[in-house]
Amino acid sequence: MPKMTWSTLPAWALLACRDILRAGTSDHRLHETLNDALGIITAIPELGLGSNAAVYVADCSSDGHKLFHHRQCEDVTMPRIIDPDDVAGSFPEGWGRSSLYPIPLCVDENQPVIGAVLLFGRTAKRLSAEKLSILRIICQELGRIIVNRIGQGGSLMNIVELSTDEIYIFNPRSLAITRANTTASIRTGHTAAALTAMTTASLKVDMSEVEYRKRLEPLIIGRCTNISFDCYQRRRNGTVYPVKVHVWRIREQETDLFAEVAVAAADQRKAFGLLEQVFDAIPGGIGVFDNRSRLVMANRRLYDLMSIPPEQFPPGSRFEDILRYNAERGEWGEGDYEAMIHERLEQAELGLPYSFEREKASGRSLLVRSEPLSQGGYVLSYTDITLRKRAERDLIRDRDELEETVRQRTAEIEAQAAALEEALTQEKNINAMQRQFVAMTSHEFRTPLAIIDGAAQRLIRKRGGIEPEFLVEKTHQIRAAVARMVELMESFLSAGRIDTGKVELVLSACSLRKLIDQAITRQKIFSQGHRFECDVLDLPPVVRCDALAMSQVITNLLSNAVKYAPRAPDILIRGWEEDGFAVISVRDEGVGIDAEDIPKMFQTYFRARTSTGIAGTGIGLSLVKQVVTLHGGDIKVESQRGQGSTFTFRLPIRGPSKEPAGMVSVSEEASAA
């Protein structure tokens, strides 16, 4: 089969490489990026791979490859270390090795292998040689991502002078120093020129050049990107001092550079002391463990949250012993302690981030997190979430109580709705009875009222021996009383017609000033103790309305003003024009209305609490409201208890703009009132 190259890759492989490249250039963390890239590879339908996948990188401390990242391994237990020469042998006996595909991890076929990518087929059927070749090319993109993220440091030339540690840039073949920073000159006592004439190995006291080169070998062959070791440096004056040496391989466009950073032990102790202070200031518990699961450092809060004595578990203690201490005193409940200890220790040493919540025997709830360190080891953090968990439980309890309250309230509302429906039915029956009463009273009382009116007219014509002035005065009072009773009957009839929707407005050009003067004249007959102050000169000359209906409205408002202000004689009537409307207000200084009664004042048969002891039917204001509304206007009331009331209504000067709902017809009349 011809060798597979980029130019011969099928379209689906090129698309996969493009998507991996896009994931690699995101700002996500490396583990998130690898997870996205592995997801792209395992989702390629042409390869038929399962969702399980893992990335291993070369371990400089051994000849194996160490687990660096894995994805969805619920049904597969990934070994922490694999033998690159026998990957299948690193898995448990009897495992389905026929579906395993160990792909070498490198950036190019001509570059050294830095690890392996383990992929798994969904079935035992093996991939063809062509598809395996394509898979190797695709996995090279993973190698480039890892090398660029971990090995890419850029050029150090611009930052070496700012470091407080010794930094040497050197040639990996000759070990000759090509550049050193000012700190290196100060620490060693050599000038910058003198250092460039030396090698990094010549500065070491307890290490020969052969041993130093052996240390660098993993970097040179590409097995890892950095190494660390302890040694002693020699100053120009012959004195020595301990240092921690870190060597990095920095990839550049033309050639790779090697950088050595020597950290003095005194500076390490100073930095370590500062780090301890920072650790103790953190509100949560923090513990740092090395790659052998031994405690490197911890803050006081960690001992408090884990309830373990600091003197019993100082730095250097094994994490296994801490776990066993908690298990033996019942922190984990019942079960096989050793199995649980082994499981949690293995999870921590796996080198992958994880988190979980646990509740201690004391009732305290903790959130436990583990974050791996790039050089091996991990950081455990413990956060007290007792208050949060308690709040969650309270929230659940409150939610359940609220649901129960809602159920009860719903039942009550349903019962109230049923009662309201029953009351509504009863009210409809009462309304029907009231309409019957109105019809009956209007029919029964019209005849005797007509007789009284006729008798009064005969008395006027046939005066006899009665003093004429006295007879005329009394006769006019009788007729006025009869007219008032007829008006009352007309109110009942009008209310009945409106309730049944049988209303006919006779619209004409009316003078509201004249209607007001007539209503005041009639009212003075019954209310000789009241004074009517009228200011209506600003009203428009004529308004298109039903003269009889508007007369009822004005008469009703004046009658109410007199009735509910028995000891306040002044009644103020004002009228003016505003935005195409005629506005009329009637003000009294009477008993007033309670604030909670005001919204109900225009309801049929409703009477305010301040009207107790004053005769009335509760029909008048309802009739006023409906007549004004039929004319396309509106009415409102302003009042306070004990301080009188002001009723103000507005009528469109040109009459209703359209036929109001509930009217049977509208007729026009040419003459003005």
Contact (Cβ atoms closer than 8 angstroms) between residue 124 and residue 98: yes
Cα(226)–Cα(451) distance, integer angstroms:
125
Summarize the confidence of residues 38-49 as an average pLDDT: 91
Mean pLDDT across the chain: 80
Question: What amino acid is encoded at 21 in this protein?
Answer: L
Contact (Cβ atoms closer than 8 angstroms) between residue 381 and residue 369: yes
SS3 per-residue string spanning 126-175: CCCHHHHHHHHHHHHHHHHHHHHHHHCCCCCCCCHHHCCCEEEEECCCCC
CA distances from 469 to 192, 454, 462, 465, 475 (A): 138, 19, 13, 12, 10
CA distances from 486 to 483, 546, 552, 659 (A): 5, 19, 12, 29
Beta bridge partners of 651: 582
Return the pLDDT at 156: 38
Cα(476)–Cα(261) distance, integer angstroms:
124
- Taking only the tens place, the pLDDT of each residue in 370-414 is 888 866 788 888 888 888 888 888 888 888 888 888 888 888 888
Summarize the confidence of residues 503-519 as an average pLDDT: 88
Summarize the confidence of residues 445-469 as an average pLDDT: 63
- Taking only the tens place, the pLDDT of each residue in 642-671 is 899 999 999 999 988 865 554 444 556 544
Question: What amino acid is encoded at 88 in this protein?
Answer: A
User: Nearest to residue 478, comparing CAs of 496, 491, 504, 460?
Assistant: 460
List the single range of 6-10, 463-467, 495-499 with lowest mean pLDDT.
495-499
Is the pTM for the entire model greater than 0.85?
no
Give Cβ neighbours of residue 100 (< 8 Å, ≥ 6 apart): 87, 88, 91, 118, 119, 120
Return the pLDDT at 443: 44
Q: Specify the 3-state DSSP secondary structure of 520.
A: helix
Contact (Cβ atoms closer than 8 angstroms) between residue 622 and residue 495: yes
Q: Does the pLDDT of residue 236 top 80, yes or no?
A: yes
List the single range of 180-194, 328-342, 524-538, 550-564 with lowest mean pLDDT.
328-342
Q: Does the pLDDT of residue 271 top 60, yes or no?
A: no
Phi first, then psi, for residue 534 (nearest 5°) are -120, 125
Confidence of residue 198 (pLDDT cuts 50, 70, 90): very high
Confidence of residue 673 (pLDDT cuts 50, 70, 90): very low
DSSP state of 658: S
Summarize the confidence of residues 531-560 as an average pLDDT: 92
User: Nearest to residue 47, comparing CAs of 98, 99, 93?
Assistant: 99
Contact (Cβ atoms closer than 8 angstroms) between residue 206 and residue 232: yes
SS3 per-residue string spanning 372-413: ECCCCCEEEEEEECHHHHHHHHHHHHHHHHHHHHHHHHHHHH
Name the percent of the chain lying above pLDDT 90.
18
Say how many C-beta atoms besides its own lie within 10 A of residue 296's C-beta.
14
DSSP output for 263-274: EEHHHHHHHHHH
Say how many C-beta atoms besides its own lie within 10 A of residue 585's C-beta.
18
Return the pLDDT at 646: 95
Cα(554)–Cα(560) distance, integer angstroms:
10
- Taking only the tens place, the pLDDT of each residue in 298-343 is 888 888 888 888 888 888 888 888 888 888 877 777 778 788 888 8
Return the pLDDT at 511: 93
Contact (Cβ atoms closer than 8 angstroms) between residue 555 and residue 516: no
- Range among 12-16, 60-64, 485-489 rated most confident: 12-16
- Only one residue has tokens 């194996």, namely 64
Domains (range + CATH), the chain: 6-158 (3.30.450.40), 165-268 (3.30.450.20), 282-384 (3.30.450.20), 405-475 (1.10.287), 501-668 (3.30.565.10)
DSSP state of 489: H
Name the percent of the chain lying above pLDDT 70.
77
User: Nearest to residue 224, comparing CAs of 118, 38, 66, 69?
Assistant: 66
Tokens encoding 120: 């798994």
User: Nearest to residue 12, comparing CAs of 50, 43, 55, 38?
Assistant: 43
